[in-house]
Amino acid sequence: MSTSIEDRLRAYARQLDEASSEQDVPTREPRRRGPYWRVGLALGIAAAAIVGIVVVAHRDDTPRMTDAPSTTTATTTPTTPTTTSTSSPAVVAPLPVDGWRDVAPSPLTAREDAGVVWTGSEFLVWGGRDGNLMYQQGAAYDPATDAWRTIADNQWAGIGSMSVWTGTQFVVIWKLSGAVYDLATDTWSQDALASLDPDEYGGFLAAAWIDGRLLALTIRRQPGAAFGHLAVVATVPGDDSWSTLAESDVEYTPDMMPVATPTGFAVSRIVADGASAQVWKYNAEQNLWIDRGQYTAPEGLLVESFLLVSTANGWAAVASLRNQAEGSQPAIVTDGGGSWIMSSFGEPINVTQAVSVGDDRLMLFGPDQVDLVSISRGAIVDRWTADGFGRTSQALSWNGSTLFAWSGRAGGPVTGAGRLWTPNDPVLTQKIDARCIDRTLQPTTSPTTAAAWDDPTSLATVSRSYRPASPTDQSTALFELLLQRLPEYTTGSHGDETLSAAGCVAGRRATVAAAGTNSSVTVSIVRLTEPISIERSIAHDDAFTRLAPDLFVSDSPATGNRIVVKVLDDGTIIDVRAFGQDALGFAGWPTTTLTFDHPTPQPPEQTIDDLLELANVVTDQLIASRP
């Protein structure tokens, strides 16, 4: 007998009650992640962050129940919006929404799975395929001149071929042997590389140049075994043989994923029941195979995919964890990290390629989008979703400052287009990240967010918002500045900007209001405490226009709000909001879709120019107050 929808709704309502009551009681001990891992994660964050927080908050932007629209006039002198502010020389930083540029058209045919290495001055592209058609050509791209040149052809190219840069030579290995390309003479040496004995080895799985030797991960055949054991062999161009460095006791299976890392190799496999992923690694310095053990998915989840990526510190894995209710969710595992870093990537994406771009950054490629994520925080830094931006099976290489991405499949067809990405986000990658609040820290005795914000050496933990916004010296100064600039506004409040586990901001805020009206102006000075895109941090219900790389404005007739958001080069965000009256007669609510009779939303008295000027004045005061 099946249960009716109404019965299921009643039962599910009880479940919601239970989940709510669980989360209502914060505790110091992190809770175990259950099947509802998002809730569990949030509880863990809250538990690590708060203890006994008073459930009182000071809300400056709450609605005011008065009928009269604002009659207050601004006293500031309007100015023309400018792309750069002369009064705030610190405003220079571009935001991390760009960073990509197209490379010149390549002389090579569009293809998938081409190899690429960085030679120190050029990206050398080699091989690739179109279906079963193997390309045995290559070309070199110079990012400094945006120019390509073709290189000599060679027979060593095919599915599974690997490209390695030795520091002076380009080596291609495939199946059991390979060839060496000399950059200076544009010639290939077909016999410079010894062949593996096919009776003893099963072919190359990965290759790397480490400590003056070409190391290759291969399969050491075992009598009676389908494949054999994982083993590492080494040679140098010109030698007449490969030597076996270390044979593991791990039986190779075709579902393994190998990757070359700066220190050796890593190999992963999803355990048959999907409950965990197993990782082994080879350390070249110690000439040692290490069983990194199994990474078991949190309860209720299964490991759907486990994509190994070479990083500066070894390896990381981008995984997709799945449960029945919520579908797939991304997560990250790192070498040395014992547990999953559950991500806040947003909507799950089908990650087909990933590359390390900096110490704590991965660029993830899927068919529909590209994500830049922070490894340590499992947080998205930026995302590109424009049509055709997503790409799979492309040639990818990070040279330490620039990511080269060429060809591959864009949606349906194979494309010959290439792109370069240079991180132009000093705001996020350097400044904010350096002060980012670490969710793994233990609770401090005084998690004063404003103090954390003002003291770059302080890493306070995130509190969970249910506390009064405490006035601080900084917020008092901001409040007094607003009272001085807007003399008709005689009341208001101020305090440190409260944080929540999901809040991602720290700073201070002040609001001034005209007594007896809806009109109010709020200024917040905050930093993001998570490395998320500033554009993503802006309210979704206000339509923003980007006037300059560091300047956003919103003049929304629907909400009756006018907003200016300005970003300083150290990551500080100055958010100036003037609230008018929305369709319910309140200030700044997103409740404008009512179909029955309500007042027409009214904008605030302040113009965008007024708010820009106020933002500049606040910027000046902020800069002047800094040591």
Partner 1 sequence: VAVTEFEQFAGDARPQLQRALVARYGVEIGIEATSDAMAYAWENWTRVGAMDNALGYLWRVAQTSVRRHHRWNTRPTYPAERATDASDRIELPPALWKLRPDVRVALLLVHGYEWTYDEVAALLDVPLSTVRNHVHRGLKKLRDELEDR
* Interface residue list for partner 1 (CB under 8 A): 1-3, 5-6, 8-13, 15-20, 23-24, 35-36, 38-39, 42, 55-59, 61-63, 65, 300, 323-327, 344, 346, 464-466, 500, 502-505, 532, 536-541, 584, 586, 588-591, 594, 596
Pick the closer one to partner 1 by CB: 70 or 106.
70
Q: How far apart are CA 80 and CA 617, in angstroms?
A: 15
Q: At what angle do helices 37-49 and 5-24 cross, to 10 degrees?
A: 20
- Closest approach of partner 1 to the CB of residue 390, in Å: 20
Pick the closer one to partner 1 by CB: 274 or 346.
346
- Closest approach of partner 1 to the CB of residue 42, in Å: 5
Q: How far apart are CA 396 and CA 191, in angstroms?
A: 28
Indicate the residue type of 465: S
Pick the closer one to partner 1 by CB: 231 or 321.
321
Dihedral sign for Cα atoms in the order 84, 89, 95, 100: positive
H or E stretch at 243: strand 243-251
Q: Which of 295, 287, 289 is nearest to 269 (CA)?
A: 295
Per the rule left: phi > 0, alpha: psi between -120 and 50, beta: everything else, 186 is left
CA 445 to chain centre: 30
- Closest approach of partner 1 to the CB of residue 176, in Å: 49
- Closest approach of partner 1 to the CB of residue 342, in Å: 12
Pick the closer one to partner 1 by CB: 62 or 119.
62
Pick the closer one to partner 1 by CB: 360 or 497.
497
Radius of gyration of the chain (CA): 29
Pick the closer one to partner 1 by CB: 6 or 255.
6
- Cα angle 602, 606, 612 (rounded to 5 degrees) comes to 135
Q: How far apart are CA 482 and CA 613, in angstroms?
A: 12
- Closest approach of partner 1 to the CB of residue 12, in Å: 6
- Closest approach of partner 1 to the CB of residue 521, in Å: 16
Q: How far apart are CA 511 and CA 468, in angstroms?
A: 15
Pick the closer one to partner 1 by CB: 64 or 175.
64
Q: How far apart are CA 152 and CA 174, in angstroms?
A: 18
Pick the closer one to partner 1 by CB: 41 or 179.
41
- Closest approach of partner 1 to the CB of residue 540, in Å: 5
Indicate the residue type of 432: I
Partner residues linked to 38 by β-bridges: none
Pick the closer one to partner 1 by CB: 55 or 624.
55
The token pair that represents 79 in the structure block:
């100015």
Indicate the residue type of 255: D
- Closest approach of partner 1 to the CB of residue 555, in Å: 17
Q: How far apart are CA 183 and CA 140, in angstroms?
A: 10
Question: What contacts 24+ positions apart, CB below 8 Å, involve 436-440?
Answer: 436/377, 436/529, 436/530, 436/531, 437/461, 437/462, 437/499, 437/506, 437/529, 439/45, 439/48, 439/49, 439/377, 440/48
First to last CA, the chain: 73
Q: How far apart are CA 452 and CA 39, in angstroms?
A: 26
- Closest approach of partner 1 to the CB of residue 83, in Å: 25
Pick the closer one to partner 1 by CB: 42 or 451.
42
Pick the closer one to partner 1 by CB: 56 or 133.
56
- Closest approach of partner 1 to the CB of residue 235, in Å: 51
- Closest approach of partner 1 to the CB of residue 354, in Å: 22
